[in-house]
Every structure is written in C-alpha cells, then in structure tokens.
Amino acid sequence: MVKNAKITEQANYIAVFQETSIRRVWHNEEWWFSISDVVVVLTDSADPRQYIKKMRSRDQTLNANWGTTCTPLALLAPDGKMRATNCANTESLFRIIQSIPSPKAEPFKRWLAKVDYERVKEIEYSELAIARARCSRPRATHNAHRARFWSGMDAAIS
C-alpha cells in the first residue's frame, strides 16, 4: 500500500549529494529519503535491492525492525511514473547507514544533518522559506537575500 499517494510537485523533491540524485518526499512534517538511492550513493552498488537484502540478512536487529524503519511512499521512478519506494526519515536513515561499511558514510551523515537543519530553520523563520519558494527570483538575488537574512539572524542571536 502506498501512503501519501497524492503527491504534489512541491512535496516531491530531488536532493543532490556529491553529484548523485537522492529522491525525497515531505511526509508527516519531515523529509523521507529513498533508501535505495542512499545505498547507491554510499556503496556504488549496481543492484541496491540485492545490497539491501544482504544488509538485512547481516544485521538481524535492522531486519527485525525493517517495517518500522522504512515506509513505502510514492516517488517518481526513472521511468517517469510514481511508484511505491521504501523511504526512511532522518532518524531511520542514520540507523541504516550504520549497517553500511563505507568511507562515504560520514560525509553523507553531515550532509543529511545539514538538509534537516535547513528545514528546521525554514520552519522557525518562515521568511527564509518564503524566499526559497519563490522560483521566479534569480539565483543571485536569492543568495543575496539569504545572506542578508542569516546575517540578521546571527546579529539577533548574538
């Protein structure tokens, strides 16, 4: 069963880590990332489904909790259709990453924490979210606005 089957363009995003796309969706007030995309990024595996299967067989605790660790959500597949894809929120993704021996794991964890931190700041400071949502604004103007906003926040915090 696909949860959150009604996906709007604003809720379905692609994140980029080291020039590799990672599909994500906004669900239950947090980002959920495609587990197979993360496995590809961290392992360079040609067959992420097989890697996940072997990973689960090696880590019995992860396997026992797989149903609560991941949730099938509708994401845009490479063929252009919306398909149920196993996704994990940040907390669950950190748990999955622990089971993947990869030198890319630490940089990925920092990237993931930054993605979530930016979203929390957008919620707290809705002006930044509004500025980011304006697609028609040229990138240079957006970056200047963002710099002004954060410099004002630094001054307010100090």
What domains, with CATH codes, occur in the chain?
9-102 (3.10.260)
Q: Half-sphere exposure of residue 64, counting CA atoms within 13 Å on the CB side? A: 3
Please tell me the distance from the alpha carbon of residue 126 to that of residue 119, in angstroms, as a whole number.
10
Chain-wide mean pLDDT for the chain?
74
Antiparallel, parallel or unpaired: β 12-17 and 20-27:
antiparallel
pTM for the model stands at 0.61
pLDDT range class, residue 4, cuts 50, 70, 90? very low
| Predicted pLDDT at 82 | 93
Q: How far apart are CA 88 and CA 95, in angstroms?
A: 10
Q: By three-state DSSP, how is residue 116 classified?
A: helix
Name which residue leads in pLDDT, 77 or 114: 77
What is the pLDDT at residue 87?
96
Residue 13 is predicted with a pLDDT of 59
Mean local confidence (pLDDT), 78-97:
90
3-state secondary structure of 22: strand
Q: Is the pLDDT of residue 34 over 50?
A: yes
Confidence (pLDDT) at 88: 94
> Beta 71-76 vs 30-34: how paired, if at all?
unpaired
Band (42; pLDDT cuts 50, 70, 90)? confident
Q: Which of 16, 139, 109 is nearest to 117 (CA)?
A: 109
